Amino acid sequence: MAALAATLVAALLAGTLTAAPARAGSARWTVAAPGSDAPRAEVIHNRAAGTVSLAVSRGDRTVLAPSPLGIRTENADLTGGLRFLGRSDRADVERYTTTVGKRTQRLALFREARFKFVGANGARVDLVVRAARDGLAYRYELLGDYGSVLGEASAFTVPPDSTAWLANHRRDYENPYVQTTAAAADDREYLAPALFDVDGTYLMLAESNLDGRYSGGSLVHDGTGTYHVKLWDQSVLVDGPLATPWRVMVVGGLDTIATSTLVDDLAPPSRLADTSWVHPGQVLWTWLAGGRGAGQSLTRQMGYVDYAAQRGWPYVAVDAGWYFDPQQWDVTDPNWRTNSWMPELVRYARERNVGILVWIHYRDLDTAQERAEWLPTLHEWGVKGVKIDFMDSESQDRLRWYDEILPATAQNQLLVNFHGSNVPKGVHRVWPHVMTMEGVHGAEKSSLTTSHITTLPFTRNVIGSMDYTPMGFHRTRPTSDANELGLSVVFESGLQNLAGTPESYDARPEAVRFLEQVPTVWDETRLLAGRPADNAVFARRSGQRWFLGGSSAGAARTLNVPLDLPAGRWLVELITDGEGGLVRSQRVVRAGDTLPVEVIANGGFAGLACRWRPTITTCDQP
């Protein structure tokens, strides 16, 4: 292992120490990962103005025109007047394991260049640039205490005619993605991640390693194709040296975007020594059957536990309404724990190998005293996890709350699903008990479109688990039944909250058969076909089997799916929309074949692929 790491480091460092020829009045340096398809960053220092910018290219294509860099604090303006002090380079090879995601075993390879600058008043700032095969990132490191951060000059100048998929800014990240172009987008604030197609090379803008030391950021379009970073807080409190979050640019083909783990790769290592208690899985979640009327009672919840046990689903989620209204219920009353039916439900579920997850409002966990009351009590009852809702902010103050709730939930061995939240920015690596986060215009919304749904795998879901809550078969929705079933594979979420009712599942036996088998954690992920706002087809491997999922937007058509599977012959079982409901078909194919799949309007499919042998008649595991 040590020899392999040394070889990788040597390969990464090769060719990193030479600067591009200086042009009149400027110096230019390149940072790139190995490989002809890897993106390249060019750091440009205008000596006269003392400004620094960054451009990105891939092959002969400009992905980002020179875009401004810099940071402003109370006591130092480090957006201009900068003098270059030197550059140092290193390689970084990291292996790590995650509990959720597109693949659990990760290998992160970086070339890192550190550019050292000093401002007019002697303030020191380093620009750290990292290059990987799937993208680039940069951050600022302030080497002294220069007061609160007042903003960044950071921006991204995208070629103006690039196709763009953008979501208007919203506190909880729950706005739909809409297709436009980089320059034609309205002059307003947008969410990250944001996706652009630059003449066949895709660029996704995101963020990593955000915590309470800083403030969340959005993207503000100035009307020309330049998107400026805007911090949530006008003043970010800083005490001493600071390393800002990473500004992330995932760059490559659409398959690179869809399978990238760059946002996690840039995050710090896990803070949990023991993850043996962390178990992802499917969740029976009945809230969309009618809110509190869906059965916030012991009797109804016992029925849901029985149904989950029959299906082999490991969890039932009990949403809002299971505890008293906080305005009427005082948790400081020493008898409050005896007023709940939750311990009895947990015992009932445990006997049937089902875990209970509970919803809780942020306001009931926003003080140290409340956390000390709630979290140990839930652990003592045997509750397996919490769905915490309505944080609705990415301010520094709210991020510091995340910094407190994350170790507290881990200490009490509670899985976490954040709702009304921000989006994952490396949290899955740092805190492996975070199973999923909302931060998505998901199935709870009434204004869904299939164009938005088929954009999510290339935007929001790229950066981490996404609690979209699929399988609401009983509801009015834009997707066909087979499309909805395919989302169990297309959308990745460590806790996959299945939003249907027992009756709606029983009416679709092929869906039940598939959902009893599909996992929520993957050994490998491949994009087979797709285009944002049009279609997305994924293959995800668990053990020796590949699960297939396809989702389309618009008219009925034939999806021609390249079977990018390991060499050999495969038995493929597909579930598609038929005249009388979901139908299952089989065919034997070879890896590399193109599989034609007929889909109805706004249709899709789900499927399984297993190694074919003459004795194999199904991909079901015994």
As a three-state string, the secondary structure of 361-396 is EHHHCCCHHHHHHHHHHHHHHCCCEEEEECCCCCCH
Task: Record the tokens describing residue 579, joined without a space.
Answer: 């005249």
| Selected catalytic residue, list 233, 444, 481, 577 | 444
Predicted local confidence at residue 337, as pLDDT? 64
Predicted local confidence at residue 622, as pLDDT? 61
> Which residues does the chain have with pLDDT short of 50?
1, 4-5, 7, 15-22, 325-329
The dotted CATH code for 2-265 is 2.70.98.10
389 is catalytic: yes
Burial class (CB in 10 A: 0-12, 13-18, 19+), 376: middle
**Residue-by-residue DSSP string for 259-300:** H--HHHHTSPPPS-S--TT---EEEEE-GGGTGGGGT-SHHH
First-to-last alpha carbon distance for the chain, in angstroms, is 37
Contact assessment for residue 492 and residue 260, using Cβ atoms and an 8 Å cutoff? no
| CA nearest to 465, candidates 424, 493, 426 | 493
**Residue-by-residue DSSP string for 153-205:** --EEE--TT-EEEE-B--TTS----EEEETTTS-SSEE-SSEEEEETTEEEEE
Domain ranges in the chain are 2-265, 281-518
Predicted local confidence at residue 332, as pLDDT? 58
Contact assessment for residue 316 and residue 354, using Cβ atoms and an 8 Å cutoff? yes
The dotted CATH code for 281-518 is 3.20.20.70
In DSSP terms, 40 is beta-bridged to: 32, 57
403 is catalytic: no
Predicted local confidence at residue 434, as pLDDT? 98
| Selected catalytic residue, list 134, 172, 174, 389 | 389
Question: How many Å apart are CA 47 and CA 67, to the nearest integer?
Answer: 16
N residues, the chain: 622
Looking at residue 528, its amino acid is L
Question: How many Å apart are CA 218 and CA 485, to the nearest integer?
Answer: 33
Coil/strand/helix, residue 514:
helix
Q: What is the pTM of this model?
A: 0.95
> How much is the mean pLDDT over the chain?
94
Coil/strand/helix, residue 102:
coil
Contact assessment for residue 604 and residue 569, using Cβ atoms and an 8 Å cutoff? no
Predicted local confidence at residue 289, as pLDDT? 87
Please state whether the peptide bond connecting residue 314 to the residue before it is cis, i.e. omega within 30 degrees of 0: no
Question: How many Å apart are CA 472 and CA 501, to the nearest integer?
Answer: 8
Predicted local confidence at residue 340, as pLDDT? 85
Report how far apart, in Å, the C-alpha atoms of 433 and of each of 261, 355, 357 are: 18, 15, 13
